[in-house]
A and B are shown apart, each in its own frame.
Chain A
Amino acid sequence: DTGVSQDPRHKITKRGQNVTFRCDPISEHNRLYWYRQTLGQGPEFLTYFQNEAQLEKSRLLSDRFSAERPKGSFSTLEIQRTEQGDSAMYLCASASQETQYFGPGTRLLVL
């Protein structure tokens, strides 16, 4: 257990529905990252926060994806109007320096 938690661990949804995932990082870490990982691939960087500021979001996969970290603690990743191609593992990581600690991920299946 790295100290990073994600909720839910699994999500099954129907195409067109919205989903929201939560990440609780290690409390003293000021940076938080979101990644997507599909089978046979490495984690794909989506976005990251330093405290409450979202410093990079150009890598979010489409405008259906958005992330927030309103108080600089936990973060949420929302996918609107889900598509079957969104099925993947969504990983969160927190970091204070250069070492990232990953949560267990949320596995999303879009039917």
Chain B
Amino acid sequence: RKEVEQDPGPFNVPEGATVAFNCTYSNSASQSFFWYRQDCRKEPKLLMSVYSSGNEDGRFTAQLNRASQYISLLIRDSKLSDSATYLCVVNIGNQFYFGTGTSLTVIP
């Protein structure tokens, strides 16, 4: 069983839309959680860490539900520049496990 499962999409949304991505993780010993963004043919870059209390960074909100082993990312007011692959990541004992990524295309 994979450590992290994500819906690969693709998600095609119009500019200004709100879009939500979800991921689940299998290991209850997972210690910390992240969302990374990866543009085509580029390296992944940290978007935000995810905390149980939820955290927000501008148009982006991340949430963690430890009981359900579930992580979410909400993007409000989508911009064309948000088009990318969004990777869910869990840290288990300083080892980082990535989901397959969810592809987002924001359409003008």
User: Is the pair A43, B91 in contact by a Cβ cutoff of 8 Å?
Assistant: no
A2:B49 contact, CB within 8 angstroms: no
Residues of B within 8 A of A41 (CB): 100-101
CB contact between B95 and one of A40, A56, A103, A104 (< 8 Å): that residue: A56
Total interface residues in chain B, CB < 8 Å: 21
Does A48 contact B95, Cβ atoms closer than 8 Å?
yes
Give Cα A97–Cα B28 distance, bound, in whole angstroms. 21
B residues 20-67 with Cβ under 8 Å of A?
Answer: 32, 34, 42-46, 49
B94 interfacial by beta-carbon distance below 8 Å: yes
Number of A interface residues in the complex (CB < 8 A): 25
Contact residues in A for B44 (Cβ distance below 8 Å): 43, 91, 102
Please provide the chain B residues from 70 to 108 with a CB less than 8 Å away from any CB of chain A in the complex. 87, 91, 94-101
User: Are A104 and B100 neighbours in the complex by a CB distance under 8 Å?
Assistant: no
Interface residue ranges, B against A (CB under 8 Å)? 4, 6, 8, 32, 34, 42-46, 49, 87, 91, 94-101
Can you list 10 contacts pairing A with B, beta carbon distance less than 8 Å? A40-B8, A40-B100, A43-B98, A44-B98, A48-B95, A59-B95, A98-B91, A100-B96, A101-B46, A102-B44
